[in-house]
Amino acid sequence: MFYQIDSLESIERLAERRKKAIHRLIREATEDIGGWVRLGKMLVGLLTFPHSDEISAWADGAGKSINLIKLLNLSYEFSHVIGAVYGCTAAGQNTRDGVVHLRNLDWPLPGIANATQIMTWDLEDRQVVNVGILGYAGILTGMVPGRFSIAMNWGAPDGPPNPYKTRPADLVREALTYAEDFEDAVAMLEMENIATSAIFSVAGTKKNEFAVIERTKNEAYVRPGTNEVAANHFSEESDWDYLNDDEVKEDSLERESALRKAKKSADISALRSCDNEDTVQKVLMIPRTGEIQLITGRRG
């Protein structure tokens, strides 16, 4: 279930072993952006990718061009260009074992379910656990056992992405790599300017250590405490409610309400309450103990 990344060669081996899943995912991702593929292939050559060596290893192992792997890594940003909506829901719940972080990843790329892989990095002062996607160098859902966990949700765009700023999933990876604790992780996700909007949730090891961080490119609104639930709309208190599409907000509020009730069980089954047709991962993380549970697809 867990795969340790300790070198570029370990990425290549994994990519070669799971190349069918990567090929399917690339096919879905390029179909999703449709007529933007040709322009995308031109753009990726002009953009900076912080983990370009890993992207090259994924490409080599899977037998795909590096530009296609780069396009996969821009899936979230392209959703803000083409008007796609990626629905996700996350919440925290206090338990005797610490805060339980629950999270549904809902992206309209069904191949993610088969391309999911929990990957770990052993760094000098921590282990980073990535509930990852084969070929994708950013992190959407991850944990530093004994410290904190982070999940990233889609948020309504506040204009076109800024290609010169940090992509949201890369910022999550940065926080998991460098933040000392829950408070430091929240601060990093709050302070750094990013390429496009997103909604983050962070859980720590102590009671009530949970926060939802609503982000536009240059601003942040933090909702602290385990009473908060993250979906895909900006709250009215953030002053960015005007960015919400009415239909998207209605669906987002329904999922938020459903998980707010169901999360009291502190069980991964609570995520059934906010399933939708695009659900590809259900994840439970407990930062205090390092426990992680994963269900791919809508089953369970």
**How far is the CA of 259 from the CAs of 19, 90, 127, 221, 228, in angstroms?**
35, 8, 29, 21, 10
Mean pLDDT of the chain: 94
Please tell me the predicted confidence (pLDDT) of residue 47. 85
Residue 297 in this model has a pLDDT that exceeds 90: no
End-to-end Cα separation, the chain, in angstroms:
17
Please tell me the predicted confidence (pLDDT) of residue 44. 79
Q: Which CATH number fits domain 88-296: 3.60.60.10, 3.20.20.70, 3.40.630.30, 3.40.50.800?
A: 3.60.60.10
Determine the Cα–Cα distance for residues 26 and 141; give it in Å rounded to an integer.
20
Question: For residue 21, which of 110, 105, 111, 136 has the smallest C-alpha distance?
Answer: 111
Q: What b-and-e string marks burial along 236-254, b requiring 16 or more CB atoms within 10 Å of the CB?
A: eebebeebbeeebbebbee
What confidence tens digit (pLDDT) does each residue in 80-97 have?
Answer: 988 888 889 999 999 999
Return the SS3 of 61. Answer: helix
Residue 86 burial by CB count (10 A; 0-12/13-18/19+): exposed, middle or buried?
buried
- What percentage of the chain exceeds 70 in pLDDT? 97
Structure confidence at residue 298 as a pLDDT band (50, 70, 90): low
What confidence tens digit (pLDDT) does each residue in 12-62 have?
Answer: 999 999 999 999 999 999 887 776 666 676 677 778 899 999 999 999 999
Determine the Cα–Cα distance for residues 151 and 176; give it in Å rounded to an integer.
11
Determine the Cα–Cα distance for residues 108 and 293; give it in Å rounded to an integer.
22
Please tell me the predicted confidence (pLDDT) of residue 45. 76
Taking each helix axis as running N to C, give the angle between helix 66-73 and helix 75-82, from 0 to 180 degrees, rounded to the nearest 10: 60
Contact 71, 25 (CB under 8 A): no
Residue 300 in this model has a pLDDT that exceeds 60: no
What confidence tens digit (pLDDT) does each residue in 97-130 have?
Answer: 999 999 999 999 999 999 999 999 999 999 999 9
Please tell me the predicted confidence (pLDDT) of residue 32. 78
Contact 217, 197 (CB under 8 A): yes
The letter for the amino acid at 219 is E
What confidence tens digit (pLDDT) does each residue in 188-226 have?
Answer: 999 999 999 999 999 999 999 999 999 999 999 999 999
Please tell me the predicted confidence (pLDDT) of residue 299. 54
What confidence tens digit (pLDDT) does each residue in 238-262 have?
Answer: 989 899 999 999 999 999 999 999 9
The alpha carbons of the chain give a radius of gyration, in whole angstroms, of 18
Please tell me the predicted confidence (pLDDT) of residue 39. 67
Contact 169, 214 (CB under 8 A): no
Domain ranges of the chain: 2-82, 88-296
Strand ranges (DSSP E) for the chain? 2-4, 88-95, 98-106, 116-122, 127-133, 141-144, 148-154, 198-203, 210-215, 220-224, 229-230, 279-286, 291-296
**How far is the CA of 192 from the CAs of 172, 186, 220, in angstroms?**
11, 11, 9
